[in-house]
Amino acid sequence: FRAILSRVYIPSLTPTFSPEVIAFLNLLCFFSRCSTLRTSCHSHRSSKTPSIDTQFIQLRAEVSKMHRFVFLLSALAATTLPGAVDARRSWAELSGKYNWDGLLDPLDVDLRRTIIRYGELAQATSDAFIGDPASPYAGASRYAPPAFLRKAQVPTDPDAYRVTRFVYATSTSARVHADVFMTRPAPPGAWSTESNWMGYVAVATDRAAAALGRRDIVVAWRGTKRAVEWVDDLDITLVPATGVVGPGPGWSQPSVHRGFLSVYASKNSTSRFNKQSAREQVLAEIRRLLNAYKGENCSITLTGHSLGAALSTLTAIDIVTNGINVRGPPSSRDTVPVTAIVFGSPRVGDDQWKKAFDSTPGARLLRVRNAPDIVPTILPSAFYKDVGVELLVDTLKSPYLRKPGVGPAAWHNLECYLHGVAGTQGAGDGAGFSMAVDRDLALVNKEVDALKDQYPVPAAWWAERNKGMVKDASGRWVLQDHEEGNLAM
């Protein structure tokens, strides 16, 4: 029964049931089985014993009913059994209700899995992105929304979330657009020269919502694969975060990085993808989903890596300060919790931004930083300040990675970050590294060359077969690097 229960829930999304609740579920299953056997024995005494084939068919039917019974019972436990309070408190705690106090050092195993889970949803934006300028679809998603997470091969249950909207961004800053955050296709007649696909909004499916204990809405922002290349000449100009967050009690108007805000809030009337800014697209979709699930317990989780982490940080405070997460009539307001779990984030704003973020109830942020990564500290601390709670990992301690030979690109790489989360044993110099979560080592080399030679995994192995080139009916090779519907809004 424990084995069945362990398979009912989604790995790394499972609410933590107490041993008492698990025992209670086991007893209910046991009594149900006993009742079935009593009925079966009684019928056997009063009739001819069925054949072996008939008994096997009956047993298979009973097992099927038992699995269905346990599934329904476990889903019910997530909302109604005495242990459900613990389960709901568990997800709220993992989402930062208490600022992750007591969960980071040592890193709680459930939080470890939760961080990896959201990191995988962020990684999908990188894996699906067409980054080769030779493609007419450079800057777009390779996959369409309906099966996006499955096509991107998200490791942990790709069917747990359903993508409801793609998000597109542009920039009014020529410097940002040309050289830093945007990819522009070289061929004429390309899908867009003004916009880039920047991520997606997804919502937990019914099955996942039952396991999670709430309907989770996820915004996954795409990062930039050129982060390490642009740090030397990154524009450090600060501009007011007008519209996102304003002055408040104890702080004046916050200012944020000009490039990050430009990607987040710019629109372009000549692009059909950015008549609305990325900000407007995301906030509108969150409103729509909260209304669609207004009778349910909901949460909003933002995730991203590098540039995506900066955009997640902007989105978190934007949602809270502008009341996007508040629903219901004034007499019975319901405030939906907002959490950002980000990786390799550069600093976003100034000291007033930090005061505003830290003073805004409901804006929670867990910032994962790899000790040797230069991106989180590249913007000078004299002008830019960190926000949220930091989880420090150190992939230099990993016995699986080459030393020396791993450089800045690997230190900033998201899969290397997730490897660090899976193995970190504490922030201190004396803390070791061992895989507390069984995470596939091959993922480390998905985009970089970091694993030791004793592991037979090619460097940067994640690529479309033949770089998307296929033979057409005439026998000529043509580029077909995307599926139909990949430009969905």
Is the CB of residue 308 less than 8 Å from the CB of residue 122? yes
Among the listed residues 171, 255, 306, 312, the single catalytic one is 306
Q: Is 306 a catalytic residue?
A: yes
What is the helix (H) or strand (E) element at residue 339, kind and residue range?
Answer: strand 338-343
How many CA within 13 A on the CB side of residue 226? 15
Token representation of residue 26: 């086991």
Among the listed residues 108, 132, 157, 373, the single catalytic one is 373
Distance CA 447, CA 379 (A): 25
Look up residue 417 and give its amino acid.
Answer: Y
Among the listed residues 177, 305, 412, 482, the single catalytic one is 412
Is the CB of residue 399 less than 8 Å from the CB of residue 433? yes
Other Cβ atoms within 10 Å of 225 Cβ, number: 18
Look up residue 311 and give its amino acid.
Answer: L
Look up residue 371 and give its amino acid.
Answer: A
Beta strand pairing call for 161-169 and 196-204: antiparallel
Give Cβ neighbours of residue 249 (< 8 Å, ≥ 6 apart): 359
Q: Is 482 a catalytic residue?
A: no
Q: Is 373 a catalytic residue?
A: yes
Q: 376-379 contacts: CB < 8 A, separation 24 or more?
A: 376/344, 376/345, 376/346, 376/347, 377/347, 378/231, 378/234, 378/346, 379/234, 379/236, 379/257, 379/346, 379/347
Is the CB of residue 108 less than 8 Å from the CB of residue 96? no
Is the CB of residue 129 less than 8 Å from the CB of residue 222? yes
Residue 470 phi/psi, 5° resolution? -135, 155
Listed residue (139, 130, 129, 122) closest to 274, CA to CA: 139
Helix axes 258-265, 307-321, angle to 10 degrees: 70
Is the CB of residue 82 less than 8 Å from the CB of residue 369? no
DSSP 308: H
**Catalytic residues, which ones?**
306, 373, 412
